[in-house]
Structure 1
Amino acid sequence: MQGPTPWLPGNDSAERKHAPATLRNREPIAEVLQEELPVTGKVLEVASGSGEHCAFFAELFPGHIWQPTDPDPGALGSIASWCAGLDNVLPPLALDAASTDWPVDAADAMLCVNMAHISPWEATLGLVAGAQRLLPKGAPLMLYGPWRREGVETAPSNEAFDASLKARDPRWGLRRLEDLDAAASARAFARTRLIEMPANNLMLVYRR
């Protein structure tokens, strides 16, 4: 199972939640999406959280159909609230990345922001397995978040974050990029890009 996400209450709706990090990272992520998304098609967002990213990206990329998902029932109402009135956003679906039973059978791109470190490793393995099932060859699987890299010193802030995550749940914590690469390779994906992002995060793109 993926882990729950801490929320702050949103201002406009009882159901709407706010994740403060989205205001800091949505524009850098959008810059990568501009370069990596296909011209049109369905974008499956796994672990959509509050729904703020999906709403922001759907407005920026109106030529794409966005499918938000999350395993947390509390998140689904927030996603629906943030995305209300956006014609290119489908109703949010309950999806646990670690499961093999996904409510979606095809997508033209997949996006996952800040899931790997706040869920058991099985969720990330399931994400890659799902991408193999759903994505056509050449389509992008894109992940954003903090990662450990061999030969690269982990920022002190990320070390502290890792310790706080493991204190909450020993199955959580920063993942090794090399482990993700190996999991992706086992599903015929190769990493095509690594983009340094603000606040010691990375944007990773895989294709097969």
Structure 2
Amino acid sequence: MKRHAPATARNSEPLAEVLAEELPDRGLVLEVASGSGEHAVFLARRFPALDWQPSDCATDALQSVDAWAQEAGLVNLRPAIALDAAAGDWPIDSADAVLCVNMVHISPWQATVGLFVSAAKLLTSGAPLILYGPFIEDDVETAPSNLAFDQSLKARDPRWGLRRVADLDALAAAQGLQRTARHEMPANNLVLVF
């Protein structure tokens, strides 16, 4: 029932270091597209003053998240909830931060639109929407490995692929959000904070 994502072990610590700068001291963090659940456990353990709400749209992911959570036994890690980023009716009313790791490029653009629209409704003023993953920047040369990854994603599903940061900035602006930070991460990834 527990799934394992090898990249999680590699990126958890660098991600946590950035999140220490960007997350609030207290409150509820909604993690959208929690996948295996390994990040949720790692980050809930790392930030014990924050309540962690994992979510995913896939039943097997929800089962994996809850299996990892049950094993960890953390009081600040809530049971996973079913949440489709593209849907307009999220099963949560508010959050003090929204975190989305490695979803934007492996989902249709509509999921990213839904993420920004719903996050803008959930978050209070100044609360962050934080994205992690590979992106394309107009003014920065894209690593050859990221270009190859983009092509492999599009071959698997033409609706997938690395997103342009400029498109995300425009989507954010349309929802009253603005990018406040860009952090370079290992393996040609970025953390973008809106």
Give the drift of 1:144: 0.2
Match of 2:159 among 171, 179, 202: 171
In the alignment, structure 2 segments of 5+ residues that lack a partner are: none
Q: How does 1:122-137 map to 2 (within 5 A)?
A: 122-137=110-125
Superposed displacement of residue 202, structure 1: 0.3
Answering whether residue 106 of structure 2 is matched by residue 118 of structure 1, we say yes
Structure 1 residue 151: deviation in Å? 2.1
Percent identity (aligned): 64
Q: For 1:39 and 1:145, locate their aligned partners in 2 and report how far apart those are by CA, in whole Å.
A: 24
Q: Deviations over 1:162-194 (max 9, x none)?
A: 111001000000000000000000111110000
1:78 maps to what in 2? 64
Residue 61 of structure 1 corresponds to which residue in structure 2? 47
Measured against aligned partners, the alpha-carbon deviations of 1:8-57 in whole angstroms (never above 9, x if no partner) come to: xxxxxxx1000000011111110111111111000000000000000000
Amino acid at match of 1:86: L
Corresponding residue SS for 1:138: coil
> In the alignment, what sits opposite 2:81?
93
**Alignment: residue pair count:** 192
Shift of 1:156: 0.7
Runs of 4 or more, structure 1, over 3 Å off, are none
**Structure 1: tracts of 5 or more residues without a match:** 1-14
For residues 53-95 of structure 1, give each alpha carbon's deviation from its aligned partner in whole angstroms, at most 9, with x where no partner exists.
Answer: 0000000111110000000100001000111111111110110
Partner of 1:9: none
Aligned amino acid, residue 66 of structure 2: A
From 9, 32, 36, the equivalent of 1:50 is 36
Specify the alignment match of 2:92 in structure 1.
104
Residue in structure 1 matched with residue 188 of structure 2 by the alignment: 200
Name the CA distance, whole Å, in 2 between partners of 1:80 and 1:157: 33
In the alignment, what sits opposite 1:154? 142
In the alignment, structure 1 residue 184 sits paired with structure 2 residue 172: yes
TM-score (norm 2): 0.98
Q: What is residue 26 of structure 1 aligned with on the other side? A: 12
Report how far residue 126 of structure 1 moved: 0.5
Q: Distance in 2 between matches of 1:151 and 1:204?
A: 15
